[in-house]
Amino acid sequence: MSVSQTFRVDLRGIVDLLSHHLYTSPQVYARELLQNAVDAITAVRQDAAEAAPHSGRITITSGDATGDGSLTVSDNGIGLSEAQVHELLATIGRSSKRDDLGFARHEFLGQFGIGLLSCFMVSDAIEVTTRRAGEPTVLWRGRSDGGYEVEQAPADRQREEVGTTVTLRPRPGCEHLLTRRAVTGLVTHYGARLPHPVTVDGETVTGGRAPWDRPDGESPAARRARLEAYCEDVFGFTPFDVVDVAAAEAGLRGVAFVLPMPANPAVPAAHRVYLKQMLLSEGAERLLPEWAFFVRCVVDTAELRPTASREALYEDSLLEATRDALGEQLRGWLVRLSVQEPARLRAFLRVHHLGVKALALHDDEMLRLVTEFWPMETNVGPLTLAEFTDRYGLLRFTPLLDEFRQLAPVAAAQGLAVVNAGYVYDAELIDRLATTDRQLEVEQLRAADLATHLERLDAAEEQALAPVLAGADRVLARLGCDLLVRSFEPSGLPALYLLDDDTAFQLDVRGAREHVDETWAAILGSFQSTAEPRPRLVLNHRNPLARQVLTLADPGLQAMCLEGLYVQALLLGHHPLRPADTAALNQSFLGLIGRAVAGGAA
């Protein structure tokens, strides 16, 4: 028979967990106190009984001014009755911003009713003196061990006006966080853009123009200069451009600063986000699509939800829709650049082509921009894809960087123009371009295909070389390579090593099987082709040295020369050397030196 039980809660442990582990730094206590004060003022403005507009204010007295090291934060907000103090301050997770009190929850900064607990990171006791309209002043004292007391405030602690005062006395080691200098810095950092006046020891720290503001009478040039100065001060760079962004559904407005230098796409972009004009996070991620890693934003939002710690944005459908909307606005900025300032677009692409190419994989307009404005590497010089297709008709490309380096000079000498699509996204972009433009003729050139473009020997030459090639073939067979003889340009190149991607994969599988146990060998065997993969060494019959090697009467000397040409072709093609290749290099090099020394001595 099962018996229903209730959880036993260690209040001291819960307070320690929330106050020390939910937040990343004890400095957030200042933000949470500001948030509570702002929400209390907001509640007054929403109270139906409040006839005249309410002028809210927040007054802070630092430990330097109080004389005993304590900090006080006072507001003229709605205040709490004694019943609400019991219900809201003494219940972890209960918030005064609940719909059952008659207030629209989304109007408030706090959402979780646990912000006050952050104060336990700097103080072992929290004292709240509060008065609601028509109610006596109530004094609440909370301790970090989970205990609290509530009483009507004595005569010397009575509040004349409605509102709340929070008093913190520093715990040992935290006194420096309640000094005038520290408090002024924290309040300015988090609350400088708040719409209510906030003073620290009599000095106002709020006010000033927010980056997202568009005041009447400010010229575009003056606004641009102000935003560039802001970006330099906050983000540490002068922006390449400034883009206004907005998302009505999220109540979001702000500006995006385009980085003037390359950004690492693997590092999430961190943005400065305000929630109802209070700083939420300096490192908010996922505000923009992943491809927009070249932008840093400062925005203010009224509707996006914060996480429990109020240090990041909560991932939900509204944030996803906002991300899409902001991405579309950045996309529109790029399109405008292509029409109005193509030179600036090219300058932008030189720095941030990766982000635009990532977007072009699924966006036709961005694909057009890349095709028309981004010069790609080819074996006939840098050309955009549009220029290449206009000039050569056929869009011939190779998808691997090493293959391009291997094939480029030979292909160019044969009159074959080839695009290097070995960089990030390039091959995928060409595939997508071929899908969107059915009239475009595209051909992929691989190492194995190049041999078909090289000139074969005539029948008489092949017949004359047949006996020699049989012996040479046996030499290269020891290195797992087939031999071809072709005529091609440049004539100064004696040999060309051709290894396509499929053959390289099969060779890797075969090599791996030799160094694993039977189980893994069987698994790798399922990937291995039945035909033995063999790369090809193509000797250039137009090269005098290659012809001389083929006509050598001494089989040993010919073998050393063939091995030397083989290794040189590997190195020219940027191929790694296997142990067998290194042995062939040493053998041919030392053997030829030995022959030369012996001949000289004779």
Please report the pLDDT score of residue 551 as a whole number. 87
| pLDDT per position as a tens digit, 84-130 | 888 777 666 555 444 433 334 445 444 434 677 788 889 989 999 99
* 264-268 CB contacts, 8 Å cutoff, 24+ apart: 264/293, 265/290, 265/293, 265/354, 265/355, 265/358, 267/293, 268/293
Residue 419 is predicted with a pLDDT of 96
Is the predicted pLDDT of residue 517 greater than 80, yes or no?
Answer: no
User: Are the C-beta atoms of residues 555 and 471 closer than 8 Å to each other?
Assistant: yes
Quickly state the pLDDT bin for 466 (edges 50, 70, 90): confident
* Burial zone of 127 (CB within 10 Å; 0-12 exposed, 13-18 middle, 19+ buried): middle
Sorted by where each starts, the structural domains of the chain and their CATH numbers stand as 11-204 (3.30.565.10), 220-328 (3.30.230.80), 374-451 (3.40.50), 454-499+535-601 (1.20.120.790)
C-alpha dist (Å) from residue 144 to 70, 126, 161, 535? 17, 8, 29, 74
pLDDT at 395 over 90: yes
Residues in Cβ contact with 532 at an 8 Å cutoff, skipping those fewer than 6 apart? none
How much is the pLDDT for 410?
Answer: 86
Number of neighbours of residue 101 by Cβ within 10 angstroms = 16
Task: Please tell me what DSSP assigns to residue 278.
Answer: E
Q: Who wins on pLDDT, 97 or 474?
A: 474
The percentage of the chain sitting over the pLDDT mark of 70, rounded to a whole number, equals: 85
Asked if residues 547 and 540 have their Cβ atoms less than 8 Å apart, the reply is no
Bigger pLDDT: 593 vs 50: 593
- Per-residue DSSP letters for 161-213? SSEEEEEEEEPTT-GGGGSHHHHHHHHHHHHTT-SS-EEETTEE---S--TT-
Supply the pLDDT for residue 523.
Answer: 64
Supply the pTM of this predicted model: 0.73
Q: Which pLDDT band holds residue 375 (cuts at 50, 70, 90)? A: very high
Confidence (pLDDT) at 118? 82
Task: Report the pLDDT value the prediction gives residue 109, as an integer from 0 to 100.
Answer: 47
The pLDDT value given to residue 337: 93
pLDDT at 30 over 80: yes
Predicted local confidence at residue 382, as pLDDT: 95
In this prediction, residue 501 has a pLDDT band, given cuts at 50, 70 and 90, of low
Residue 521 reports pLDDT greater than 70: no
- At 214-269, the pLDDT tens digits run 888 889 999 999 999 999 999 999 999 999 999 999 999 999 999 999 988 888 88
535-545 tens-digit pLDDT: 888 899 999 99
Instruction: Give the pLDDT of residue 266.
Output: 80
Q: Give the pLDDT confidence score for residue 97 in this predicted structure.
A: 46
DSSP 136-166: --EEEEEETTS-EEEEEPPGGG--SSSEEEE
Q: What is the pLDDT of residue 180?
A: 95
Q: Is the pLDDT reported for residue 155 higher than 70? A: yes
- What gap in Å lies between CA 346 and CA 348, rounded to an integer? 5
Q: Stretch 560-583: mean pLDDT, rounded? A: 87
Q: What is the pLDDT, as a whole number, of residue 201?
A: 94
pLDDT band at 505 (very low <50, low <70, confident <90, very high): low
> Is residue 482 very low, low, confident or very high in pLDDT (cuts 50, 70, 90)?
confident
Over the chain, what is the mean pLDDT? 85
585: Cβ–Cβ under 8 A, 6 or more apart, which residues? 563, 564, 567, 577
C-alpha distance from residue 46 to each of 49, 102, 108 (Å): 9, 9, 11
pLDDT at 103 (0 to 100) = 39
pLDDT at 601 over 70: no
Mean pLDDT of 421-437: 93
pLDDT of residue 145: 79
pLDDT band at 351 (very low <50, low <70, confident <90, very high): very high
More confident residue, 5 or 33: 33
Strand order in the sheet with 495-498: 482-486, 536-540, 495-498
